[in-house]
Amino acid sequence: MKAAAPVPVSRARRRIAFAVSLFGELLITAGVVLGLFVAYSLWWTNVIANQEAARDSDAVRESWAAQPEDEEGDDTTPPAEFDPEDGVGFLHAPTMTGSEILVKEGTQPDTLNGGVAGYYNDPVESAMPWDEEGNFSIAAHRDGHGAKFHNIQRMEEGDPIVFETKNTWYVYRVYAVLPETSKYNIEVLDPIPEESGATEAGRYITLTTCTPVYTSRHRYIVWGELERTEHINAQRTPPEELRAAD
């Protein structure tokens, strides 16, 4: 019995097979590129930012060490060489992170991308910790570029927030948390942040970052109020809230 001749593959079918194969290869390539971009955004930018922040932090501490001791612990009259773009002090929030966070002036990407936090000067001008009243309002990234506020959701009412300057420990206590609000809600930065429940002038601190994680659709807010200050001694002994967290 004579075998049937093979049915020839039409030119159209060969074109379809080639197109499907090419499309599959493009999908694989796109997946690889996307994976590399995610790795860059969520890992490599952290590496670079943390290295930059470490250098800047060392420079601030070296600058403090080179300045004469101030027995009065007065932060209201910084030395002539002081530049808030270099860093005004260090934020310690042991519930959120075990490492200190350098705080600089401004909240623009060119500042925050350096693995630091920044205090607001726009659209609301932040008070400083040493001011007699006001709201010391700070922002930092939650993912990528150091992700200093990545675990902000761990913070709860009663947790300590400590800000360190050359002369003074400013010890705040968390009293309110807002897990989600509009990124256009600037009232959370008011000198008296009424949305937190505050009703009178005081010395507040506000931490802000993006939420949900890996997006920038909304903002996560933590408010604290100054509990006390401590003069920093020659050994720079931290307050008990930080010693207990070690």
- pTM for the predicted model, two decimal places: 0.82
Residue 32 lies in a domain: no
What is the three-class DSSP state of 240?
helix
Residue 141 lies in a domain: yes
Whole-number Cα distances in Å, 45 to 97, 146, 193, 223: 18, 7, 33, 28
Distance CA 194, CA 175 (A): 12
3-state helix, strand, coil in the chain (%, to 5): 30, 25, 45
Residue 139 lies in a domain: yes
pLDDT of 11 above 70: no
How many domains does the chain contain in total? 1
Residue 19 lies in a domain: no
Q: Find the domain containing 165 and state its range.
A: 45-70+83-245
CATH classification at residue 233: 2.40.260.10
Contact, 195 vs 178, CB < 8 A?
yes
pLDDT digits (tens, 9 = 90+) for 60-113: 999 998 887 654 556 665 544 457 778 999 999 999 998 999 999 999 999 999
Residue 125 lies in a domain: yes
pLDDT of 188 above 90: yes
Residue 156 lies in a domain: yes
Residue 153 lies in a domain: yes
List the catalytic residues: 210
Which of 28-32, 148-152, 162-166 has the lowest average pLDDT?
A: 28-32
